[in-house]
């Protein structure tokens, strides 16, 4: 019998999922120890260098005490975020911005601010898997609405969305440009959400951490719709656009005073966000374009290469992702998780293999995305081509191995 007797953790704790991408990553490490080179197409951690000014700023800081920052953010950081957002066409006052520990904390704060336990937020699947974890922490139920690969994962009609709205629905959460699909929502798609939000008194939560990564069509922020001035909540992060994922700096911003004040109170409870990192990002936020432009160009090139190379792989279903640095593709296999496992456990081509992210983990509806994987464009063009070639060559050996 356990020394703990009958003590047990909460149902919510048991429901909390570990990252579905972790299991295969452990196998990948074992394979590397055996001398196999593994191309990682599974994770969204940019491989490009952080702008040197971030480290220079840290080296030049003259502080005798590492003190708590104000709970809503350091004044210099708030002004820098205001400047950055203004350069992106979004006008907000410092008082309407809360600095958070990454976009992740901003999303949790937003969910906690608008939902009571058991309330619902509509999401479009496949979606960023951590939304599940955030919803579990916040005691919120996600109401998934499936998108299809054939539409390049664009939003369904207003009527279809309206069908899943009920009296527990508090908001609609979008990720635009989207992780994991790369879709960039057009103005007319967003207008549908705006109309629904007004008609049903909902909040619109917009995760715009990939804002700059819109390659073909103009990006429209939810904050550009005056009709939802009081019900739009912007969730943002420095992580991807500046290659500073480890800094853990994001923001929640809104014109809705109650939402911002509530997020501020949540912020007070966790006291402060890391102060050095807030300061280190000020130069980037004050002059963003020069830092984001080369990063965006690199990912545009990779997107183009991936799109072209996918055309060489027979039986794959794909589309042209318009933004971010991901794509969800359909594979000519019955079960993509089984295939990804086989690829990393057993397959090699000239001493190399690939780690993929099965897309099932990006869906909440059971049975969806079974033959799909997400590719993250985290390799340079040369390696990306090699990785996609390995995938191309692996299907026949996979079929033979199975029989
Ligand atoms: C869509 C999306 N939202 C939010 C985040 C959270 O990022 P961070 O907490 O590093 O700002 C990520 C990170 O991958 C993401 O892809």
Question: Do the strands 232-237 and 203-207 form a parallel or antiparallel pair, or are they unpaired?
Answer: parallel
Among 173, 208, 237, 323, residue to substitute to test ligand 1 (most atoms within 8 Å of Cβ): 237
Whether the per-residue pLDDT at 403 is higher than 60: the answer is no
Expressed in angstroms and rounded, the spacing between residue 119 Cα and the centre of ligand 1 is 23
Question: What contacts 126, CB < 8 A, 6 or more positions away?
Answer: 147, 153, 180, 181, 328, 359, 362, 363, 368, 369, 372, 374
Under 8 Å between Cβ of 113 and 98: no
Atom 1 of ligand 1: nearest residue by CA position: 179
* Of residues 176, 206, 188, 190, the one with CA closest to residue 324: 176
Whether the per-residue pLDDT at 333 is higher than 90: the answer is yes
The two three-digit tokens of residue 168, written as one number? 């527990």
The pLDDT of residue 5: 72
How many whole angstroms separate alpha carbon 242 and alpha carbon 238?
6
What are the backbone dihedrals phi and psi of residue 238, each rounded to the nearest 5 degrees, phi first? -85, -15
Residues 343-362 have pLDDT tens digits of: 999 999 999 999 999 999 89
**CATH fold of 11-49+290-398, please?**
3.90.1150
Say if ligand 1 is within 6 A of residue 104 CB. Answer: yes
Percent of the chain with pLDDT over 70: 98
Residues 105-161 have pLDDT tens digits of: 999 999 999 999 999 999 999 999 999 999 999 999 999 999 999 999 999 999 999
What value does the mean pLDDT of the chain take? 95
Shortest-distance atom of ligand 1 to CA 104:
9
* Of residues 85, 103, 94, 28, the one with CA closest to residue 273: 103
- Helical (H) or strand (E) element with 155: none
Q: Where are the domains of the chain?
A: 11-49+290-398, 65-286
How many whole angstroms separate alpha carbon 244 and alpha carbon 89?
22
Q: Which residue has the higher pLDDT, 14 or 182?
A: 182
Say if ligand 1 is within 6 A of residue 337 CB. Answer: no
Say if ligand 1 is within 6 A of residue 176 CB. Answer: no
Under 8 Å between Cβ of 278 and 77: yes
Residues 22-41 have pLDDT tens digits of: 778 899 999 999 999 999 99
Q: pTM for the whole thing? A: 0.95
Expressed in angstroms and rounded, the spacing between residue 267 Cα and the centre of ligand 1 is 19
**Comparing 5-9, 49-53, 212-216, 300-304, which segment has the lowest mean pLDDT?**
5-9
Expressed in angstroms and rounded, the spacing between residue 236 Cα and the centre of ligand 1 is 8
Expressed in angstroms and rounded, the spacing between residue 82 Cα and the centre of ligand 1 is 20
Expressed in angstroms and rounded, the spacing between residue 73 Cα and the centre of ligand 1 is 19
* Of residues 142, 127, 84, 106, the one with CA closest to residue 234: 106
Say if ligand 1 is within 6 A of residue 165 CB. Answer: no
The two three-digit tokens of residue 9, written as one number? 């953790």
The two three-digit tokens of residue 117, written as one number? 């336990």
Confidence of residue 3 (pLDDT cuts 50, 70, 90): low
Under 8 Å between Cβ of 103 and 235: yes
Expressed in angstroms and rounded, the spacing between residue 104 Cα and the centre of ligand 1 is 6
Under 8 Å between Cβ of 204 and 228: yes
**Architecture of the structural domain at 65-286:** 3-Layer(aba) Sandwich (3.40)
Residues 199-209 have pLDDT tens digits of: 999 999 999 99
* Of residues 13, 205, 5, 247, the one with CA closest to residue 109: 205
Among 104, 277, 376, residue to substitute to test ligand 1 (most atoms within 8 Å of Cβ): 104
Whether the per-residue pLDDT at 335 is higher than 70: the answer is yes
Whether the per-residue pLDDT at 312 is higher than 70: the answer is yes
**Comparing 172-181, 204-213, 359-368, which segment has the lowest mean pLDDT?**
359-368
Whether the per-residue pLDDT at 79 is higher than 90: the answer is yes
Atom 14 of ligand 1: nearest residue by CA position: 44
| Residue whose token pair is 């919120």 | 140
How many whole angstroms separate alpha carbon 262 and alpha carbon 138?
14
Whether the per-residue pLDDT at 1 is higher than 70: the answer is no
How many whole angstroms separate alpha carbon 377 and alpha carbon 384?
7
């Amino acid at each position: 019998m356990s020394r703990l007797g009958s003590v047990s953790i909460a149902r919510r704790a048991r429901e909390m999922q570990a990252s579905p991408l972790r299991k295969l990553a452990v196998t990948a490490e074992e394979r590397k120890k055996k001398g196999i080179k593994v191309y990682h197409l599974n994770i969204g951690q940019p491989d490009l260098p952080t702008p040197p000014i971030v480290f220079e700023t840290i080296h030049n800081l003259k502080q005798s005490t590492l003190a708590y920052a104000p709970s809503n953010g350091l004044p210099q950081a708030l002004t820098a975020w205001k400047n950055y957002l203004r350069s992106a066409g979004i006008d907000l006052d410092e008082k309407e911005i809360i600095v958070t520990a990454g976009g992740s904390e901003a999303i949790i704060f937003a969910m906690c601010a608008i939902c009571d336990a058991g309330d619902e937020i509509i999401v479009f699947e496949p979606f960023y898997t951590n939304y599940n974890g955030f919803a579990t922490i916040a005691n919120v139920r996600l109401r998934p609405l499936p998108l299809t690969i054939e539409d390049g994962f664009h939003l369904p009609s207003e009527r279809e969305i309206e069908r899943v709205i009920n009296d527990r629905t508090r908001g609609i959460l979008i990720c635009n440009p989207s992780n994991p699909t790369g879709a960039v929502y057009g103005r007319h798609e967003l207008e549908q959400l705006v109309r629904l939000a007004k008609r049903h008194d909902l909040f619109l939560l917009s995760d715009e951490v990939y804002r700059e990564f819109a390659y073909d069509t103009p990006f429209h922020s939810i904050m550009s719709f005056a009709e939802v001035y009081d019900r739009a909540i912007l969730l943002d992060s420095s992580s991807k656009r500046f290659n500073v994922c480890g800094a853990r700096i994001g923001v929640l911003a809104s014109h809705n005073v109650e939402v911002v004040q509530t997020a501020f109170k949540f912020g007070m409870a966790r006291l402060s966000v890391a102060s050095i990192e807030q300061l280190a990002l000020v130069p980037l936020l004050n002059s963003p374009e020069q830092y984001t432009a080369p990063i965006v160009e690199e990912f545009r090139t990779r997107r183009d290469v991936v799109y072209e190379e996918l055309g060489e792989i027979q039986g794959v279903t794909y589309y042209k992702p318009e933004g971010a640095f991901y794509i969800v593709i359909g594979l000519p296999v019955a079960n993509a998780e089984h295939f990804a496992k086989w690829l990393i456990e057993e397959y090699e081509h000239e001493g190399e293999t690939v780690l993929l992210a099965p897309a099932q983990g990006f869906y909440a509806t059971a049975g969806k995305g079974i033959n799909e994987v997400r590719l993250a464009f985290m390799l340079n063009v040369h390696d990306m081509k090699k990785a996609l070639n390995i995938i191309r060559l692996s299907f026949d050996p996979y079929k033979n191995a199975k029989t």
